[in-house]
Amino acid sequence: MSGHAPGVIVGLSGGVDSAVAALLLRQAGHEVHGLYMSNWDEDDDYCTAAQDYQDARSVARELGIVLHKVSFAARYRERVFANFLAEYRAGRTPNPDVLCNREIKFGVCLSYAARLGAVRFATGHYARLQSAPDGIALLKAVDTGKDQSYFLHAVPRTQLQQVLFPLGELNKAEVRARAREAGLPVFDKPDSTGICFIGERPFAEFLRRYIPDQPGPIESVDGRELGQHRGLHYHTLGQRAGLTLGGVAGSAPEPWYVAAKDTTRNVLRVVQKHDESLLNSRQLTTAAVNWLCPPPAQPFTAAVKVRYRQPDQQAELRPLDAGVEVRFATPQRAVASGQSAVFYSGERCMGGGVIVNTL
């Protein structure tokens, strides 16, 4: 293993994507070190951190690179998890992956990599960075099915200048093939899903450990009480499962969907399939935007995503003092406050902000 100072530190998670990111940088002649970071300090049956670290060690050994290990669990709890719980308590649906990228991976972890002597910090994210006349530009990945620019929109541009995304030009099948050719032991390891600190565990069971049940009525849009919910924080807009309503006397035998959360009265509002249009929003407002391009002063048109993997939706955007008002060409289903609205001009991610309210 090389003992030189690293030119690039790769965040090695124990998965195939970060392993191939390290492989490509090594093949390109960089002095590469790996960094395994743990962000969650509770070890239980659902936490895969111990196995992930062993996989990261195996990859580092195969590539002949130094592997550093660091725990950011305390800062993760303070900067990401505390916000996650506060948002759920307030009846919103947060996206901790967005906050984790801004605060941890490309925040404290980026600083830590610099302290280890690295000039650049790389990850296995599917996204591209390019020089533009106005500075660094974040672009969608070539593999549109895996593109992760949505999760990266909140990272400040100054931090993106120090980052490399080696997988931006590859698709997932090519990444696995490269890993297999290079003899990397994680070439067929399944992708991790869900939020890192929750893993595959039942979500409601996890939330109950931190937020007590707060039962209240389930009402139809015309104000009829149909049943009881255990807490608004267990539900998100558009959700069908978990309502335990079954057949309601005087109502059509159709599924029910969450249409709104009235936090002042602790009421969950639901609609049936024939009233699904009530789930649609034509307009939303965001909190302050992290701009990855010069902030527009005038109204402009752009493509917008209000959730990961959603096809681009055309909209007109009007800058406000703090955020942006977005008016969609086509009404959008189940837009949840607390999630992010992310703006695109063609391939380029312009930035985005947290959804505050919808119309």
Active site residues: 100, 196
Token pair belonging to 235: 């539900």
DSSP state of 279: G
Distance CA 32, CA 128 (A): 20
Distance CA 152, CA 101 (A): 6
**SS3 category, 124:** coil
Cβ atoms 332, 355 nearer than 8 A: no
Helix (H) / strand (E) containing 319: strand 313-319
Q: Which whole-number Å values give the CA distances from 277 to 91, 236, 334, 337, in the listed order?
A: 22, 16, 10, 18
| Beta partners for residue 267, in sequence order | 262
| Per-residue b or e along 90-129, where b marks 16 or more CB atoms closer than 10 Å to that residue's CB | ebbbbbbbbbbbbbbbbbbbbebbeeeebebbbbbbbbbb
Pairing of strands 32-38, 8-11: parallel
In 123-176, the DSSP E strands lie at: 127-132, 135-140, 163-164
